[in-house]
Amino acid sequence: MNNVNVPKEVNTYCPKCKHHTVHTVSLYKAGKRRALAVGERAHAREKEGYGGQKYALQHTFAKTTKKQTLRLKCKTCSYMYHKDGIRLRKLALV
Ligand SMILES: [Zn+2]
């Protein structure tokens, strides 16, 4: 699948309401990394100095697409959940 059109609103099952309701669809994006977070600082410390790289950096990739995760928000209870990502070249919300 290359180009997929996804409707902005879908009628689907809400796990909280326990029946079908209208959901707004948006695209999930990972949040911005906080440079001062504990894990981020620990990782930076580990990478310091000679032999600091803990794993081989991947330069060539077999896959040409990334998994796109859909974020569904129930319009009645505003419960938000994610739908499993599928590999797409282009996803358009229509
Ligand atoms: Zn709901």
Parse the chain into domains and list their residue ranges: 3-47+64-93
Rounded to whole angstroms, the Cα distance separating 71 from 69 reads: 7
pLDDT category, 88, cuts 50, 70, 90?
confident
Is 86's pLDDT higher than 90?
Answer: no
Ligand 1 centroid, distance to 11 Cα (angstroms): 11
pLDDT more than 70, % of the chain: 99
Rounded to whole angstroms, the Cα distance separating 44 from 1 reads: 38
Residues 6+ apart with CB under 8 A from 61: none
pLDDT digits (tens, 9 = 90+) for 29-65: 999 999 999 999 999 999 999 988 888 899 999 999 8
Ligand 1 centroid, distance to 73 Cα (angstroms): 8
- Residue 43, classed as helix, strand or coil, is helix
pLDDT of residue 54: 84
Ligand 1 centroid, distance to 74 Cα (angstroms): 5
Best CATH choice for the domain 3-47+64-93 from the list 3.40.50.10320, 3.30.70.100, 3.30.200.20, 3.10.450.80:
3.10.450.80
67: left (phi over 0), alpha (psi -120 to 50) or beta: beta
